[in-house]
Amino acid sequence: MAKALAFPSVAWFDAVRAVFNSDERYRGAGGGRCDCVVGLKIGEAVFVLAFEGVECVSAVAADDAALVDVDFFLAMSAEDWREMITNIAENDGADLHHTLNTLDLARDEGLAASRHGDQFREDLFFRYNQTLQFFFDASARVKTAVDNGKLVKL
Amino acid sequence: MATVENGTEQFDLGWMRRTGPWNTRAPRGKHGLTLADVAVGAYGEAPDESDNQTGRPRGAVARPGSYRIGGYAVRSKSEIWLDNASFLYEEALQRQWSSATDVPWHTIEPLPDDVEQAECQLATFLTEVEFVAGDVPARWVSLTTPDFLEPRQVLLAQVMDEARHMDVFRKRALANGGGLMQATGATSGFVGGIDLSRDFTEMSSRLHVSGEGAVLTLFRMGELMAQNEAEKVIYRLCAQDEARHVAFGIMHLRYMASAAPERREEIHCYLDEAEAGIIGAANPVGQLTPTSESMAIILGGGKANFDDGMNKVIAIRRRQLGEYKKRVISAGFGERFENGRSGVDRMIDHAA
């Protein structure tokens, strides 16, 4: 039985990448070529995902300074991230209230942002939104433990 | 053409000697063989000025005596060029979707009458404006020399995108017990005026940067408002397409700003007009229009919560204006926000 991987961690993102990269369904239906570098600010933790072609080619832990260079970053409290990941796990994909775009518009401070302020690069969040949603929805197939040790997906 | 000499059929194989640059082996990249990969040597060289009026593919050998077929008005590179057209085209090809099979239509269920009417009003409006969004680039494709094939290809892909948007909102209106509502008339105002543009850049600044930028916000809002997974998918995928069209406009303006600086004032005038349109009825997130009222009803969850819904519309309208401003800055025309020419900051302050 697979060991539960802690969210957030590079190992967890690598497991999600493996699911995402190997499932051809994510390459159609509005998914497909996606070239961007995405920062994730999960509470105080920072990760950087690189998408190239039809794959997520890397996930690394980083520090706050890395957010200057990414095309855009998604920032929420650790609690809100856990809620989103748990919701995805429980519903085999985000429900109507937990999609990335919904979280972005429903929050006063938004979800997607950048340090460079270039809207052309920030717009990549919109241009590749389905791919990003596919990526996080793929996490439903990864046995996950949130960082307080609670298992969210068996 | 075969001829017969002394009873023997002879072939004229002269065409075999009339080639463009030969021994061309375009290298295949890791994303397949893309349009950028085949832009090699002379095949990749778009002229600053094109005299190609015959439909000759760029790099092909001219055919003596060819008659003019195109009447191409756009023959100056700076009028239509952008640096990432090949990339956008491949992205458009690879991120296509089907309104028939990629939308989970089975998730649509009956809604309260007022919400269904609001959904159908929005769908009517979107079907209406997407006609313009398809017709206009299609017309400019036909006016552009084949030497500028990369931007032409992006525009052709856009026409396909807009065709899909037209049909998917028509399908939504007819899928759940409602139907089309009264046409909003948006196409007779700012939106329809886009087709009166006399110049490609005038059209692009109106259509891609301001018009589609505004509709992009509407699509994103649609995803937020969605009552079921089908609507989520519809609006999310339409927003992706729209963001690609917006990217075309920004990159074209960037190119214009550097390649034809003498046209900066002219472009500012186009942006003046576009910003005047942002506050009008053509803006779906604007004030007191059937569409903004529809969105308020959907966001509020019904007529009874109209005020709550309208407050959300206003908040998103502010974000829409802020994104427009940042796109114009990204395109290289940010001085209008520093010198008082643009009224967008005032619109943001007074959005209501």
Query: What is the signed CA dihedral for B156, B158, B164, B165, rounded to 10 degrees?
Result: -150
Rounded to an integer, the average pLDDT of B281-304 is: 77
Other C-beta atoms closer than 10 Å to the C-beta of A57 total 11
Give the pLDDT of residue B291: 84
Which is nearest to B237 in space by CA: B252, B219, B253, B259?
A: B219
Ordered by start, the domain boundaries in chain B are 77-350
Reply yes or no on domain B77-350 having CATH 1.10.620.20: yes
Contact B221, A105 (CB under 8 A): yes
Global ipTM: 0.92
CB contact under 8 A, A30 and B102: yes
Residue A75 confidence (pLDDT) above 70? yes
Tell me how far apart the alpha carbons of residues B101 and B309 are, in angstroms, rounded to a whole number.
32
Residue B320 confidence (pLDDT) above 50? yes
Start-to-end CA span in chain B (Å): 72
Give the pLDDT of residue A134: 97
Give the pLDDT of residue B288: 52
Q: Is B37 on the interface with A (CB under 8 A)?
A: no
Tell me how far apart the alpha carbons of residues B173 and B190 are, in angstroms, rounded to a whole number.
24
Least confident among A21-30, A66-75, B5-14, B260-269? B5-14
CB contact under 8 A, A101 and B236: yes
Distance to chain B for A118, nearest Cα, Å: 6
Cis before B151 (ω within 30): no
Amino acid type, B263: R
Give the pLDDT of residue B156: 97
Q: Which domains does chain A have, with CATH numbers?
A: 5-145 (3.30.1050.10)
CB contact under 8 A, B242 and A126: yes
Which residues of A fall within a CB distance of 8 Å from B308? Answer: none
Q: Which residue of chain A is at minimal alpha-carbon distance from B32?
A: A53
Give the pLDDT of residue B283: 56
Distance to chain B for A9, nearest Cα, Å: 28
What digits encode the pLDDT tens for the residues B107-162? 999 999 999 999 999 999 999 888 888 889 999 999 999 999 999 999 999 999 99
What digits encode the pLDDT tens for the residues B260-292? 999 999 999 989 988 887 655 445 555 557 888
What percent of chain B has pLDDT above 90? 58
